[in-house]
Amino acid sequence: MGDSKKAPGTMGQNGNIGKTENKENFNCENTENIERVKTLEKYSGRTHILGRFACGVTLLLLVGAPFLIGKYLGGMPDLKAVAGGFVSVGLVWTVSSFVEFLVYTPMLGSGGSYLAFITGNLINMKIPCAMNARDIAGTKAGTPENEIISTLSIATSSLVTIIVLALGVMLLVPLQPILQSPVLEPAFENVVPALFGAMAYQYYRKNIKLSLAPLIVMSILFILVPSLTSQTSLMILPAGALSIILAWIMFKKEKTA
Amino acid sequence: MLKQLNSPVMYLICGCIILFVAIMCVVFLVRAYRAGKAIGMDPKILKRTITSSATFSILPSVGIFLGVIALSGSLGTPWPWLRLSVIGALHYETQVAEAAAEQVGLGKLTIQGMTPTAFSTIALLMSICIMWGMILSFFFNKSYINRLEHPKAGKKKKGKSGSSGFGDMAMTAMFIGLVSAYLGSYIGGFVSGKGLFTFSGTLTPIIVAVVSALVMAVFTWLAKKKNMGWLENFSIAGSMLVGMIAAIFC
């Protein structure tokens, strides 16, 4: 009697069913993986098309707006003064933009970084917001899941800013005296320290060994060269580089241990 | 001049650009949400990301709005509204606007003496100085991301033996560096802000950061030990709020 004639539930048949099920599961998982890869490739490709479109159009609008406004007001921009101003202040921000692009693009992924560079306020909002979202979702940098979480986070954050600012502008007359009152002034002057205090707890707690050295080195640097406090955003690069070098040393030690 | 800068035409020009960016944000949001669901991510996590990012952004956005108020006296309301909604940064706008005002011969940023040419020149300079992130993204985002995801064959081999798994740690380290730079600047400002080792600079940012960190610790404890996981969505915003309130009493 062949296996096919064995009563249901016998070992042989169960074994065959198990094998068939395994094969089916494997095929099913394989199909799912292929689908996932296809979905991600399609998503990524379109993100770049959409991101470039959004960047291109926003650039045109932002550079074109002063000319349109100039036409409306009856005074076009003085290009000589623009060139002079660019040399005096623009070059610093150009260098800063290159650094921001190199550092933040890997942090945010493609979709998140396109949006973040369009909507701005990276250091004081978008980067901490994306890092917080990453922590809550538990995703790892460089994974497709992190790309999704980062894009969701930056898009939401940008929309909230746009809505808050639009509401604020609409309610400017009643809001101005409240928000600019001497009582509340210190509170709004310290939004960034409040943000970094909370974020510091979250990150230092989990990486105490890694955090101490950059904090001590940066504190000493700012104590010895107080004028650097006006260039804090540029000091992020050496601070980040130091942290990454330390992280690499720790990572190698852990691997060899 | 201020009346012209606050005219409905100015609101229309700036409002249209902001609307375009808002639409782009919605498009990216919807696409990311759908893609997340399609690759099997838990919709609860996706929704939680949106909620936590929204609550996270409210207070900094109010702070950014104060930048609009600060600049509205000299540049009218619509232009600062546009600048700080799109591409701009709170610390950048005032600095560049001041420098631009000097270039057009205003001396400092003020509505007195502001001419149409001066305004449009300032506006153009503000746009040009900070547009490089977008230009770099336009040209290099794809190739840079591809390079990071698929290192060259030789480097890949090296990556497999040495750097696999380090990417996430590197991002965390970079962020720790960022936070340390800011906290270090507050400590440096207090110790040497008014002369080397005088300890007479402002202490407020340090107190605010410490209070905010302590409140964050309480939120974390409640979320982890008392099973109040939902608090995580509001922990940063709540900590910031208490930290900012502490600044009032400093």
Span B105-118, pLDDT tens digits: 776 677 777 889 98
Q: What SS3 class is residue B150?
A: coil
Residue A240 sits at φ, ψ, to 5 deg, of: -65, -40
Hey, are the CB atoms on A121 and B89 less than 8 Å from each other? yes
Q: Is residue B157 part of a domain?
A: no
Note whether residue B14 is domain-resident. Answer: yes
Whether residue B19 is found in the same domain as residue B102: yes
Task: Identify whether residues B200 and B83 lie together within a single domain.
Answer: no
Residue B21 lies in a domain: yes
CB contact under 8 A, B183 and A215: yes
Domain co-membership, B36 together with B96: yes
Instruction: Annotate A122-171 with DSSP letters as a single string.
Output: IIIIIHHHHHHHHHHHT--TTSHHHHHHHHHHHHHHHHHHHHHHHHHHHT
**What letter represents residue A136's amino acid?**
I
Residue among B41, B53, B116 whose CB faces A73 most closely:
B116
C-alpha span between B129 and B139 (Å, rounded): 18
Rounded to a whole number of angstroms, the distance from the CA of A15 to the nearest CA of chain B is 31
Q: Which of these, A216, A188, A193, lies nearest to B188 by C-alpha position?
A: A216
Dist. CA A36–CA A30, nearest whole Å: 10
Among candidates A32, A56, A155 on the partner chain, residue whose Cβ is nearest the Cβ of B28: A155
Among B113, B131, B149, the domain-final residue is: B131
List chain A residues with CB under 8 Å of B236: 128, 132, 195, 198-199
Both B103 and B215 in one domain: the answer is no
Residues B79 and B199 in one domain: no
Same domain (yes/no): B81, B194: no
Assess if residue B161 is contained within a domain. no
Q: How many residues does this entry show for chain B?
A: 250
3-state secondary structure of B167: helix
Distance CA A222, CA A243 (A): 17
Short-list A158, A47, A45, CA closest to B21: A158
pLDDT at B207 over 70: yes
How many domains does one find in chain B?
2
Instruction: Determine contact, residues B206/A233, Cβ cutoff 8 Å.
Output: no
Same domain as B174, residue B127 = no
What is the spatial distance between Cα B162 and Cα B160, in angstroms, rounded to a whole number?
6
Distances (CA, A) of B57 to A132, A195, B175, B238: 11, 10, 18, 11
Please check whether residues B76 and B175 belong to one and the same domain: no
Instruction: Give the tens place of pLDDT for each residue, A56-90.
Output: 999 999 999 999 999 999 989 988 888 887 887 77
Neighbouring CB atoms inside 10 A of B96's CB total 27
The residues in B 186-205 lying below 8 A from A, measured between CB atoms, are: 186-189, 191-193, 196-197, 204-205
Residue B146 lies in a domain: no
Last residue of a domain, one of B114, B131, B148: B131
Phi-psi domain of B107 (left: phi exceeds 0; alpha: psi -120 through 50; beta: other): left
Give me the residue from A51, A165, A205 closest to B141, CB to CB. A51
Q: Tell me the H-state helices in chain A.
A: 11-73, 79-85, 91-119, 127-137, 144-170, 172-179, 185-189, 191-206, 208-224, 232-256
For residue B239, being part of any structural domain is answered with: yes
Same domain? B64 vs B114: yes
Indicate whether B184 belongs to any domain: yes
Task: Identify the domain boundary among B131, B152, B176.
Answer: B131
Range of the domain at B49: 2-131
Region B15-42 average pLDDT: 95
Whether residue B24 sits in one domain with residue B125: yes
Which residue, chain included where needed, has tokens 């036409």? Answer: A71
Is B160 part of any domain?
Answer: no
Which of chain B's residues have a Cβ under 8 Å away from the Cβ of A243?
A: 173-174, 176-177, 180
Do residues B126 and B30 both lie within one domain? yes
Cβ atoms A223, B237 nearer than 8 A: no
Please identify among residues 27-66 of chain B the ones whose CB lies closer than 8 Å to any CB of chain A: 27-29, 31-33, 35-36, 38-41, 45-46, 48-50, 52-54, 56-66
Q: In terms of domains, do B127 and B222 share one?
A: no
Return the CA Rg of chain B. 23
Mean pLDDT over residues A92-119, rounded?
86
- Closest to A88 in 3D by CA, of B49, B65, B227, B102: B102
**Alpha carbons B156 and B169: distance in angstroms, whole number:** 18
Confidence of residue A180 (pLDDT cuts 50, 70, 90): confident
Q: What pLDDT digit, counting tens, does each position of B118-158 carry?
A: 899 989 988 888 888 899 999 999 999 888 777 664 444 44
